[in-house]
Amino acid sequence: MRIRIDHETRYAYARPARFIVQVLRLTPRSTEGQQVRDWRIETDVDARLRRSEDAFGNIVHSLYTERPTDVLTVRVTGEVATVDTGGVLRGFPERLSPLVFLRDTPLTQADAGLRDLAARVEQGDPLTRLHGLMRLIHGEVAFMVGATTPDHTAADAWAQKQGVCQDHAQIFIACARRLGIPARYVSGHLHRRDGVIDQDAAHAWAEAHVEGLGWVGFDPANGVCPTEHYVRVACGLDALGATPIRGTSYGGGGERMTVALRVRHMQQTQQQQQRQGWS
């Protein structure tokens, strides 16, 4: 299917920031499961954008503003053609050994509660165990916007049994690593089957390395492996390593961020354009 993404992040500062430095992980790569047809990043201020790649193979843009700024908007527009690969990632340039993704981070450190959860996973081959882990998390962690913040750890979210997709993914990662299976965090976009196109934030899920298959995606928030409705953007050891925008400003006082995101099937876009033409 063809998915259209329009993503806008706006920063407003109490006083003009002298300069702003940001790292943008907003650009997907083409793989066997997705072909990037068109993709653009734009800002509404004088800024430099420098493209590179990080150690995880993500496309990264470094943004530097040129003058004092009181409002900064980063706009992303693009189109990606996707196919269903059963959740298996192929055609991605892996830079690191899967063993790197057994490393714990502060956000994914397993406490006693997460160790108990990992111990409950059914026995079997690794793929069977990973599906069992996904079902446990999906069934026991309620999706609740506002229940957590980006600073909450996997252990925090599991303790309160609620959170958002970031929390579901990091709980999965913590437990998979506890089982000896390399796992990593993935940020991206989800075309919703219920027809909702305006979303509050990007989506997140996990990938685990299965011998003989490679990296396989698991979305505990929805209880499924990624399909053609998913657009994969970036990966990392945890949410910090794959966050869409991360940076700092110098001066400026208080900062307020707002996000507007639309994820549409191209057929929806064409129908909307036709309706607007008829009105």
Q: Which structural domains are found in the chain, ordered by start?
A: 2-270 (3.10.620.30)
pLDDT of residue 23: 96
Neighbours of 9 (CB within 10 A): 20
Single out the residue of 249, 242, 231 nearest to residue 38, CA to CA.
231
Neighbours of 124 (CB within 10 A): 11
Single out the residue of 174, 185, 184, 182 nearest to residue 118, CA to CA.
174
Partnered with residue 146 across adjacent β-strands are none
| 148 class by beta-carbon count within 10 Å (0-12 exposed, 13-18 middle, 19+ buried) | middle
The 3-state DSSP class for residue 66 equals coil
Rounded to an integer, what distance in angstroms lies between the CA atom of residue 82 and that of residue 228? Answer: 5
Rounded to an integer, what distance in angstroms lies between the CA atom of residue 274 and that of residue 79? Answer: 19
pLDDT of residue 66: 83
pLDDT truncated to tens, each residue of the chain (279 aa)? 999 999 999 999 989 999 999 999 999 999 999 999 999 999 999 899 999 999 999 999 999 998 999 999 999 999 999 999 999 999 999 999 999 999 999 999 999 999 999 999 999 999 999 999 999 999 999 999 999 999 999 999 999 999 999 999 999 999 999 999 999 999 999 999 888 899 989 999 999 999 999 999 999 999 999 999 999 999 999 999 999 999 988 877 788 999 999 999 987 555 454 444 543
pLDDT of residue 31: 97
pLDDT of residue 272: 52
Query: What separation in angstroms does the CA of 128 have from each of 48, 53, 121, 212?
Result: 47, 33, 9, 14
Q: Whats the size of the chain, residue-wise?
A: 279
pLDDT of residue 253: 75
pLDDT of residue 279: 39
Single out the residue of 158, 223, 229, 172 nearest to residue 195, CA to CA.
229
- What are the structure tokens assigned to 74, written together? 């980063």
Three-state secondary structure of 122-173:
CCCCHHHHHHHHHHHHHHHCEECCCCCCCCCCHHHHHHHCEECHHHHHHHHH
Three-state secondary structure of 179-235:
CCCCEEEEEEEECCCCCCCEECCCEEEEEEEECCCEEEEEECCCCECCCCCEEEEEE
